[in-house]
Amino acid sequence: QAKAAGRNTYRFFSPEMLDQVLERAQLVDDLRKALHNKEFLLYYQPQVTDKGEVIGAEALVRWQHPEKGTVSPAAFIPIAEETDLILLLGQQVLETACQQLLDWSSRQGYEHLTLAVNISVRQFQQVDFVEQVTELIQRYAVNPKRLKLEVTESLLMDDEDILLTAEKMEQLQALGVGFSLDDFGTGYSSLTYLKKLPLDQLKIDKSFVSDLLIDAQDLDIARTIVSLGHSLNLAVIAEGVENQEQQERLAALGCFSYQGYFFGRPLPIEAFHQWMENL
Ligand code: C2E
Ligand code: MG
Ligand code: MG
Ligand code: MG
């Protein structure tokens, strides 16, 4: 930026910029300590069908900060992704998810649930990512069919060889692990990639769901995603469903799986179990 401003222009760190840099450095430092102190935990949000059956949950990470309380991932995932911390965090999340699947495998009424885990691009691109997942599946005797990995379109757009990405996904899929394409419609997936990659599910981003009833364009996009899913033989789930009208409109489009506050908010595990008991 300084360079673009021209040869004879001098740029200094303003006090505000310095504050930002220090604040970021502090956050990185705090994150590192938090990982060491195991301050991250998972919340679980139910995924349901139009019949009201719970088919699974998405694991969503929270930072249980000793002073700040519960911190949302939006406040720390982007910073973690700029550093190697996302690799450690991602691994902790995956391990906790596998532990939870082990617990559910012997808990009556939970055996069939799938658990969806968000995977960052950098995490997926580690050379040993397939080995990491395989090792956790074995260590916790997880039925791989219960584990679903949520990846975003950015994984398909990143410079890494798409063939390598496809190969890793195929190796995991061969074990039985499922793949869901998260926030679908907000990126720039090419249809060729969508066809070539071993995906199982498209997840309609909540930005399209929120205005479904009032914005004809969002409705058209949702409809297009549903029919694309059907054409490619992929399941389709909608996120961010907040009321019955949205759910009914989605059903009319042919989307019969949902996640959103209308059904249940993300909850700590005890509260999630409580929620399941009260159904
Ligand atoms: P996401 O994977 O798209 O998750 C859905 C987000 O929508 C969650 O936000 C969820 O709480 C929120 N949500 C669910 N239902 C509704 C609804 O009806 N209305 C509204 N307004 N929001 C709803 P959350 O938990 O704050 O997570 C934000 C993002 O952080 C996630 O978006 C995901 O990209 C990222 N994230 C969360 N956990 C992890 C993780 O373990 N690893 C990685 N790499 N990223 C994570
Ligand atoms: Mg997700
Ligand atoms: Mg999503
Ligand atoms: Mg989203």
Ligand number nearest to the C-alpha of 60: 1
- How far is the C-alpha of 52 from the C-alpha of 50, rounded, in Å? 5
Q: Best of 201, 239, 267 to mutate for ligand 1, by most ligand atoms within 8 A of CB?
A: 239
Ligand at shortest distance from the CA of 203? 3
Residue having the nearest C-alpha atom to atom 37 of ligand 1: 60
Ligand 1 atom closest to Cα of 81?
Answer: 44
Q: What is the pLDDT along the chain (279 residues), one digit of tens a residue?
A: 444 555 556 667 788 888 888 888 999 999 999 999 999 999 999 999 999 999 999 999 999 999 999 999 999 999 999 999 999 999 999 999 999 999 999 999 999 999 999 999 999 999 999 999 999 999 999 999 999 999 999 898 776 788 899 999 999 999 999 999 999 989 888 888 888 899 999 999 999 999 999 999 999 999 999 999 999 999 999 999 999 999 999 999 999 999 999 999 999 999 999 999 999
Instruction: State residue 183's pLDDT score.
Output: 93
- Residue 145 is predicted with a pLDDT of 98
Q: Whose CA is nearest to atom 8 of ligand 1?
A: 60
The per-residue pLDDT for 8 is 58
Considering every ligand atom, which ligand is closest to the CA of 240?
1
Residue 161 confidence (pLDDT): 83
**C-beta 185 within 6 A of ligand 1:** no
Q: Going by CA atoms, what residue is nearest to atom 30 of ligand 1?
A: 73
- Protein residues with C-beta less than 5 angstroms from the ion ligand 2: 118, 150, 182
- Say how many Å lie between the CA of residue 77 and the centre of ligand 4: 13
ipTM: 0.98
Q: Ligand 1, residue 119: give the atom nearest the CA.
A: 44
